[in-house]
Amino acid sequence: MNATPATGFVVIVPARLASTRLPNKPLADIGGVPMVVRVAQRAQQSAAAQVVVAADHADIVAACTAHGIRALLTRADHPSGSDRLAEACDLLQLGDDACVVNVQGDEPLIAPALIDAVAQLLQERPDAAMGTAAHAIDTLADFQNPNVVKVVLDARQMALYFSRAPMPWWRDGFANGQHTLPEPRPLRHVGIYAYRAGFLRQFPQLPPAPIEQTEALEQLRALWHGHRIAVHISAQAPGPGVDTPDDLERVRQLVATGH
């Protein structure tokens, strides 16, 4: 990585009010502040030129506005976060070369330095259409957990494949009944993405890929269509995201204790 961080990029936080496991998730209170606002405030600590929430409901826009966060009202019927991001790019009138970092709206403890690192990938790797992040897995349970997405890289830290399955599979170790992680450690994918706005506008128009549908991983669509994804390897695991009421309570406790 260069010493000078990427600048001039835009962080967009897609926020959808409906959630099956945690209703009204973006507005969930964390230490007196709605979760989506906390995410945006963390993103504002990065080198981003601007941070914008792309919301599907006026209540989210109102909550952001009340805390001084810029928010855009986007269509409520987008099938994916990528579609919402593409609409936000148009509303912001971003040029095709603009770098956009997608920070998920349920990551209130995201590290600003991680946002900068992912943005910098596109600055350094003109052959990459996307940037993302990963970190080393340190438990066998995570390696075997299908909810923990794994990524395998090539020699230039470009993604070869993403999977919910344990990979790379340690043929000799597991064949002999071993129950330890292979070395070097497999990598867990971290769900943060950088795009150029032009590719982001194109991406939702690409036909879904068979491997994407099998694994239920949207990023596989980019690989299947021949686009490259550069990966930043983080030394530390990201803070916990919020998908369930238990996750929310854990994050509330972390915030309350100053994390």
Instruction: Report pLDDT digits (tens) over 91-107.
Output: 999 999 999 999 999 99
| Integer Cα distance of 114 and 218 in angstroms | 21
Question: What pLDDT score does 171 carry?
Answer: 85
pLDDT digits (tens, 9 = 90+) for 62-72: 999 999 999 99
Confidence of residue 3 (pLDDT cuts 50, 70, 90): very low
Q: What token pair was written down for 153? A: 């890289």
How much is the pLDDT for 239? Answer: 82
| Structural domains of the chain sorted by starting position, each given as residue range(s) with its CATH number in brackets | 10-256 (3.90.550.10)
Q: What percent of the chain has pLDDT over 90?
A: 78
Rounded mean pLDDT, 24-52: 95
The whole-angstrom separation of Cα 219 and Cα 89 is: 19
Q: What is the pTM of this model?
A: 0.92
Sign of CA dihedral 236, 254, 111, 89: positive
For residues 170 and 49, the model is more confident at 49
Neighbours of 160 (CB within 10 A): 13
Which residue type sits at 3? A
Task: Return the pLDDT at 18.
Answer: 78
Q: How many CB atoms lie within 10 A of CB 203?
A: 22
Q: Which amino acid is at 149?
A: V
Give the pLDDT mean for 32-40: 96
With residue 150 as reference, give the H or E element that holds it: strand 150-153
Q: Is the pLDDT of residue 2 over 60?
A: no
If we measure between CA atoms, which residue out of 161, 220, 213, 208 comes closest to residue 187? Answer: 161
Separation of alpha carbons 121 and 141, rounded Å: 30
Span 111-135, pLDDT tens digits: 999 999 999 999 999 999 999 999 9
- Model confidence over 159-205: pLDDT tens digits? 999 999 999 998 887 877 767 888 899 999 999 999 999 999 999 99
Can you tell me the distance from the alpha carbon of 96 to that of 88, in angstroms, rounded to the nearest whole number?
Answer: 13
Give, for 70, the enclosing helix (H) or strand (E). Answer: strand 70-73
Is 59 a residue whose pLDDT tops 90? Answer: yes
* Distance separating alpha carbons of residues 23 and 29, to the nearest angstrom: 12
